[in-house]
Amino acid sequence: MIKNIISFMLCALLIVPFTAAVSAESKVDISAPSAVLIEAESRKVLSENNSHEKRACASVTKVMTLLLAMEALDSGKLKLTDTLTASAHAASMGGSDIWLEEGEKMSVDDLLKATAVASANDAAVVLAEALCGSEKSFVAEMNKKAKALGMNHTVFKNCNGLDEKGHLTCAYDVALMSAELIKHKKIFDYTSIWIDELRGGKTQIVNTNKLLKHYKGITGLKTGTTDEAGCCMSASAERDGLSLIAVVLGCDNGTKRFADCAAMLDYGFAEYTVKKLTLPKNAEKPVEVKGGMKDTIYPRCENPGTMIVKRTAGEKLLTECKIKKDIIAPVKAGDTIGEVNYYSGKELLKKCKITSKNTIEKMSFDSVLSAIYKSLTKL
């Protein structure tokens, strides 16, 4: 007999002795006029100071250039072994560069290395032109990607971060594109380099990220300095599975830039940790369905993964399982039939869908006859 299903049943109120609430109320004592610290996977803000203030970001712009290049590598549009040729426009860049001459050829691998390690403006333009035909067209793609990532305070005017009117972003937006970039683990092959060489050893390059020399867990990411932007940086680091991104804009000098990022990262690693979430036992318990050729749905729950939590004891994490009331056939495999929610107090922290593993057809006269016929033919 098909039984009635209990409406929105609470499968569990699991009490876990660690803090789940994450707020940005705490501000790290830094000199930067604009800054933010986020957890990379969830993009949760852990600390911030004027993080949505529009500012220039100098060569931190190249985070977006590298992101589009990584996506092109993943799609096969670009290969590390491809050889690209520097245009007159690319060779004309000032500021930090690797002194490319018009017509000079270089592999994509070396151009990425030059862009990420030496912050080479000319190398960034070569990559941009190769991907979109011109820097202007590439910048349009940068802005399109920025919009897709929710970078609501960002407008790019070039691909390398040289001062240009209207070329603006904010610390929070930089953190968003940085988090997206480090999803491409290949980028760490470049951002973790301290010293390397190009042109068969004729050109030596040194990373502009001095944290690589002394900060535990540092993985990158990008520095930038211009007269208008001041000293800026997006720094990524990971310890014990916790991945953080610290962004500072407008520092007075490089020493303060590195000290500020280190202080923010120190705060994040000291205050937060990663906890593995578990599903309540009843979340995958078979559920009854009405009016179907079969009367049982077998649930499939999303993996809840992990959550960043406070190290100190505080509010308790509550886990709640909800199943839809009176599920009626037909039900297709993959249909949502409920959810598991993770709360800290009344704050919803994470939601995981519960879907049907199996398909259940609606009971009808024809379907019953068909089932009877199939049964008889097996006798």
CA distance 143 to 174: 13
Rounded to 10°, the helix 121-132/135-148 angle is 90
CA distance 209 to 249: 15
CA distance 53 to 48: 11
**Residue 105, phi then psi, degrees to nearest 5:** -105, 145
Would you please indicate which residues are annotated as catalytic (active-site) residues?
59, 62, 119
If residue 204 lies in a helix (H) or strand (E), which one and from where to where?
Answer: strand 203-206
In angstroms, the Cα distances linking 67 to 41, 176, 180 are 16, 11, 7
CB burial of residue 283 (10 Å; 0-12, 13-18, 19+): buried
Contacts of 1 by beta carbon, 8 Å cutoff, 6+ apart: none
CB burial of residue 313 (10 Å; 0-12, 13-18, 19+): exposed
Rounded to 10°, the helix 121-132/108-117 angle is 140
| Strand residue runs (E) in 227-335 | 230-239, 242-251, 272-276, 287-288, 296-297, 299-301, 306-310, 317-323
Residue corresponding to tokens 């000290």: 259
